[in-house]
């Protein structure tokens, strides 16, 4: 049986490569990374970055979670989050069953407010609170939509499905997250809401960002724009269009298309200049700061770590920024600092992410791989790093 230190992405890559009957040299020829890089990852001497893992998963034609080991069931059970997944799954399966007379619902106005509260919980990274409340909200809204369908109720149900996607993605249940996106599409059609439909395409694009199929992801981003009427320049439509460009920027960066990534960033910055801080419009966190954060991510995904760190240092996070975005910034910064050999700074960034959003950080595969990289960089593991490694389950 493998020891905890043997249970890492590199070992799983080695196992899946052998199942595919490929040598290290043959697999290296199929990914945009060197043979040396692959051998270091497989033996655990180098962390498997999110983009590296996606490239290997694509080359081996397997789901990326086979390599990352998600969901991290032991930690989910410790945090009493695993027990909340089945009720979410069951609530998502009610969508086409019609009304259930046995379901007693809250008034529509209360349920609509509840969906907003769920979105706020996710942005604050209160994942347990969101996951616990979500099934009842979905169940009640589903029944109410069948009883007295209105545009506002369908929008509220679509928002609840969006929260189901956000929660399950953060906890590593990507199959369930895809189901939630299908339900989001189903509800947005009934709401006749093009912005909701476009938001769904944005999240579908990010699925392929994670899986390494960047061409499909960029097609989904373009299809999202197609839902939006260019003659409609409402704050909502401009915000959604801007967020689609941000999704396109990181997808293009992963595809090593620097020019397209820069074009998306420029377009997003133009929209952000027009709408300002629109972080609560569909809870997309869109605005000038989020554009800056994505520009840093583009440099990181292009593996221009010096530029990414320069941008990271220039970003001033406002006090009111969503906790989820704050933590994501520190996780990305930690990876950049680790890649540049700045181990102490990287560990400080990881602790900053943990303090800001412990649940999100604990289940983030990038944070885990950065911890692993720091361990291999250290001649002697400092107590603070050992504590972090134990906390994420290494």
pLDDT given for residue 4 in this prediction: 41
pLDDT given for residue 1 in this prediction: 31
Report the Cα–Cα distance between both ends of the chain, in Å, rounded: 15
CB atoms within 10 A of CB 61: 8
Pick from 160, 177, 152, 149: which is nearest to 116 by CA?
160
- Tell me the C-alpha distance between 302 and 285, whole Å: 23
- Tell me the C-alpha distance between 271 and 266, whole Å: 9
- Tell me the C-alpha distance between 351 and 357, whole Å: 10
pLDDT given for residue 161 in this prediction: 98
Pick from 245, 251, 259: which is nearest to 216 by CA?
251
Instruction: Give the Å distances, CA to CA, from 392 to 15, 131, 356, 366.
Output: 23, 20, 15, 11
CB atoms within 10 A of CB 172: 20
- Tell me the C-alpha distance between 127 and 309, whole Å: 29
Q: Which residues pair with 286 in a beta bridge?
A: 278
Cβ proximity of 217 and 304 under 8 Å: no
CB atoms within 10 A of CB 109: 10
**Length of the chain as a residue count:** 394
pLDDT given for residue 6 in this prediction: 56
Cβ proximity of 90 and 135 under 8 Å: yes
- Tell me the C-alpha distance between 304 and 269, whole Å: 21
Nearest-10 crossing angle of helices 9-19, 50-60? 10
**Cis peptide bond N-terminal to 66, omega within 30:** no
Cβ proximity of 230 and 188 under 8 Å: no
Question: Radius of gyration (Cα) for the chain, nearest Å?
Answer: 21
pLDDT given for residue 255 in this prediction: 93
- Tell me the C-alpha distance between 230 and 219, whole Å: 18
Nearest-10 crossing angle of helices 127-147, 85-92? 20
Structure tokens at 195: 């912005």
- Tell me the C-alpha distance between 22 and 359, whole Å: 37
* One-letter-per-residue 3-state SS of 281-312: CCCCCECHHHHHHHHHHHHHHCCCHHHHHHHH
Strand segments, DSSP code E, in 63-121 are: none
- Tell me the C-alpha distance between 190 and 96, whole Å: 13
Return the exposure string of 23-54: e unless at least 16 CB atoms fall within 10 Å of the residue's CB, then b. Answer: ebeebbeebebeeebbbbbbebebbbbbbbbb
Per-residue pLDDT of the chain (394 residues; tens, 9 = 90+): 333 455 688 999 999 999 999 999 999 999 988 999 999 999 888 888 888 999 999 999 998 889 988 898 889 999 999 999 999 999 999 999 999 999 999 999 999 999 999 999 999 999 999 999 999 999 999 999 999 999 999 999 999 999 999 999 999 999 999 999 999 999 999 999 999 999 999 999 999 998 889 999 999 999 999 999 988 899 999 999 999 999 999 999 999 999 999 999 999 999 999 999 999 999 999 999 999 999 999 999 999 999 999 999 999 999 999 999 999 999 999 999 999 999 999 999 999 999 999 999 999 999 998 998 998 888 788 899 999 999 998 8
């Amino acid at each position: 049986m493998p020891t905890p230190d043997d249970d890492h992405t590199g070992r799983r890559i080695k196992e899946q490569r052998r199942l595919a009957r490929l040598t290290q040299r043959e697999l290296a020829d199929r990914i945009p990374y060197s043979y040396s890089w692959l051998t270091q990852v497989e033996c655990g001497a180098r962390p498997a970055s999110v983009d590296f893992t996606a490239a290997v998963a694509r080359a081996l034609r397997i789901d990326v979670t086979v390599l990352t080991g998600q969901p991290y069931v032991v930690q989910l059970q410790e945090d009493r989050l695993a027990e909340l997944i089945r009720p979410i799954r069951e609530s998502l399966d009610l969508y086409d069953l019609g009304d259930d007379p046995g379901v007693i619902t809250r008034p529509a106005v209360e349920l609509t407010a509840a969906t907003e509260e769920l979105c706020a919980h996710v942005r604050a990274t209160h994942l347990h609170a969101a996951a616990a409340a979500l099934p009842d909200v979905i169940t009640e809204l589903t029944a109410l939509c069948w009883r007295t369908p209105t545009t506002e109720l369908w929008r509220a149900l679509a928002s609840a499905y969006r929260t189901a996607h956000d929660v399950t993605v953060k906890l590593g249940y990507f199959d369930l997250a895809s189901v939630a996106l299908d339900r989001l599409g189903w509800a947005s059609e009934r709401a006749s809401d093009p912005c909701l439909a476009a938001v769904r395409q944005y999240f579908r694009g990010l699925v392929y960002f994670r899986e390494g199929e960047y061409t499909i992801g960029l097609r989904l981003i373009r299809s999202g724009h197609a839902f939006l009427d260019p003659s409609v320049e409402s704050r909502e439509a401009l915000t959604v269009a801007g967020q689609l460009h941000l999704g396109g920027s990181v997808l293009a960066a992963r595809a090593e298309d620097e020019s397209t990534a820069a074009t998306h960033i420029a377009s997003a910055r133009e929209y952000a200049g027009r709408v300002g801080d629109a972080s609560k419009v569909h809870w997309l966190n869109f605005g000038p700061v989020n554009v800056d954060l994505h520009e840093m991510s583009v440099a990181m995904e292009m593996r221009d770590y010096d530029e990414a760190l320069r941008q990271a240092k220039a970003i001033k996070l406002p006090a009111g920024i969503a906790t989820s975005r704050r933590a994501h910034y520190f996780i990305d910064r930690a990876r950049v600092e680790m890649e540049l050999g700045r181990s102490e700074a990287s560990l400080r960034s990881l602790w900053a992410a943990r303090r800001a959003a412990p649940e999100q950080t604990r289940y983030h595969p990038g944070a885990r791989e950065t911890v692993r990289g720091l361990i291999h960089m250290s001649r002697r593991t400092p107590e603070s790093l050992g504590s972090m490694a134990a906390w994420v389950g290494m």
